[in-house]
A = this chain, B = another copy of it.
Amino acid sequence: MSTGYVHQRTPLAQVTQAMVATAMGREPADLIIRNARLVNVNTAQVQVGVDIAVRHGLIALVGNADHIPVAESTRIVDAEGRYVLPGFIDTHDHVESSMVDIRNFAAAILPHGTTTIACDNHEITNVFGVKAVQLFHDAAEGLPLKVLVAMPVCVPSIPGFEDAGATITADDVTTAYEQGWAALQGEQMNFPGLIYGDPGVHAITRASLEAGKVLTGHYASLALDEGLNAFAAAGITGDHEGTTAEGALRRVQLGCYSQMRYGSAWLDMPNLVKAVTENLGLDTRFFALVTDDVTPATVVNQGHLDRVVREAIRQGLSPIQAVQMVTLNAAQLLERSREIGTVAPGRAADLLIVSDLVAMTIDQVYCDGVLVAENGELVIDIAPYDYPAWAVASVHLDPLTAADFAVSVDADTPVNVRAMRVVPGMVHTEEVEIEMTPVDGTLAADPANDLMKAAVFYRHAAETAADGFKPLGSRTVGFVTGLHFDPGAAFASTVSHDCHNLLVVGSDEAAMARAANAVIAMNGGMSVVVGGEVAAELPLPVGGLMALDSAAAVAKRVEAIESGLKAAGCPHDAAEMTMSLLGLIVLETLHLSNRGLVALRPGQPPEFVDLIV
């Protein structure tokens, strides 16, 4: 299928003879980098005048390479005293947040020095189930980026209240490990289920532990004593949800890596690094830096882990500490420090040549000894993956009409409706009651009073849920306030956490149908209708979540969506991200699922509530 660059990787086990022959100078190297200023993450030293010899993509020697013969094919690179670092490792990254498929994602992040990711493909697994794990694994083959798929374990987020395209069970988890698709357990988001003893959550935990995998978590709570202890006592050794310095330190004290997050929207790291900068002499081996979720615009305009390291240094970490947190520490978290994360013999030659360590200016990026990026530009051609038809046709819906958005009532007397109110800059919603007067037995949106309709349509192919519910054809229509759409405006998207059903928001039913049909026609993505016409489209054919274009192209498309939303009257920045959470029923307070309106009030379990109070 693909005609681009196909990366080869050789296991050390197969070439130990060649490795020692090169190290001893009996046989030539494939690559020699001379005169480097080595950032030695093993000792936290900078060593000057170091040569690095590479054979079969693996490091054969770090020291003086004068005795190693040079063949015609040997590539010699003079580092001219610049720094050499191990390639960066992101231990927690959702590729889907960057809205491009894994191959375009690799192309985007490699120039920024990230050479390994542990990607938790939670979003697309909500669409396709365990098949998505294999899909990610297969689509990443031949990439110079090392892709370790972190098995998603919370699909759907609250069974019985919503329907994704599949359900992930302990058997799926075991299958994914046994087949080699998944390399570790992704974030256990259902931390209440874990610490309060949900059997399904513990069955999955057992499957991961018995497979010998590293387990990561999502402990989104400020309770740092029994809850966090319980979470760690179940075997979870990495967590990225610490939001305070105390939370970061406490995790590390409990032997759980603090995966300090610095994404596009969630910028916890500056708070968290105070655990290090304000505790002189702290051993920092259990701290890592991760991106979690980054938009294509962030990657294109600011970078990936290079951006995170740069900011961590600005926040007071020493450059070597910051680099350790995306190299050796990350590799030890993943239990792969014999393969990656350090510039040392026997390890993969994932190397960065850096001209400014504080500004983190990456001149060259090598994956397994192959130059893949230079001065911020990819120098290899990454061919597209030939996705199977099912992977790019995940919107199982016929075109909609205005009637699909109708809300009928018994009589034309005024009623109180339960509406979601979005709060700019926050992820949760508020629950409000608004009096509405039906016309001809139906309730319409009321843009003059900032009351829009919002609808979720089941768009996957699953026929029966675990509880016997048949989701095909299911839908819910409700109301949302705070978006300020003008008349004739609508937004539709298949990026709708966590089930990623089709979300449609708008000020009239016809515009909503038009926006929805644009997304259906694209096999997933986003669209904005302004003045009754489609004003912007973002095709996301892979599972309705990811584009087959470059991150730069997608960033432009997202910009067009955001301009469209502004033109539609919505004053908020990145309103498409706010709306993508209207279906996320694990958040407080009122949200929509395909099964109905779900209220999650503080300290109470979720419950279905009626639209009409």
Contacts and interface: CB of A to CB of B under 8 A. Distances in A.
B234 A16 contact: yes
B232 A345 contact: yes
Interface stretch (A221-229, A404-412, A439-447, A565-573): A221-229
Interface stretch (A43-51, A175-183, A378-386, A534-542): A43-51
Contacts of A61: 226, 229-230, 233
A23 interface: yes
Nearest to A59: B233
A230 B19 CA distance: 7
Contact of A16 (B205, B285, B345, B347): B205
B345 A255 contact: yes
A346 interface: yes
A252 B195 contact: no
A9 to B, nearest CB: 14
B43 A249 contact: yes
A15 to B, nearest CB: 9
Interface of A: 11-14, 16-17, 19-26, 40-45, 47, 58-64, 67, 194-197, 199, 202, 205-206, 209-210, 214, 225-227, 229-237, 249, 252-256, 279, 281-283, 285-286, 324, 332, 335, 337-338, 342, 344-347
Contacts of A226: 23-25, 61, 63, 67
Contacts of A236: 346
A234 B22 CA distance: 11
Nearest to A63: B225
Closest 3 CB pairs of A and B: A255-B344, A23-B230, A13-B209
A229 B194 contact: no
Contacts of A43: 249, 252-253, 279, 282-283, 286
Contacts of A346: 232-237, 255
B195 A229 contact: no
Given A16-B233, A42-B283, A255-B345, 8 more contacts: A11-B210, A12-B209, A13-B210, A20-B194, A20-B195, A42-B255, A61-B230, A232-B345
A235 B348 CA distance: 11
Contacts of A253: 40, 42-43, 45, 47, 62, 344
20 contacts: A11-B210, A16-B206, A20-B197, A22-B233, A23-B233, A24-B195, A42-B252, A42-B254, A42-B283, A43-B249, A43-B279, A45-B279, A60-B229, A60-B233, A232-B346, A233-B346, A236-B346, A237-B338, A255-B342, A335-B338
A16 B60 contact: no
A233 B346 CA distance: 4
Contact of A62 (B19, B59, B229, B282): B229
A214 B233 CA distance: 26
A229 B42 contact: no
A329 to B, nearest CB: 9
Nearest to A287: B43
Contacts of A232: 344-346
Nearest to A249: B43
Contacts of A227: 24
B17 A197 contact: yes
B64 A225 contact: yes
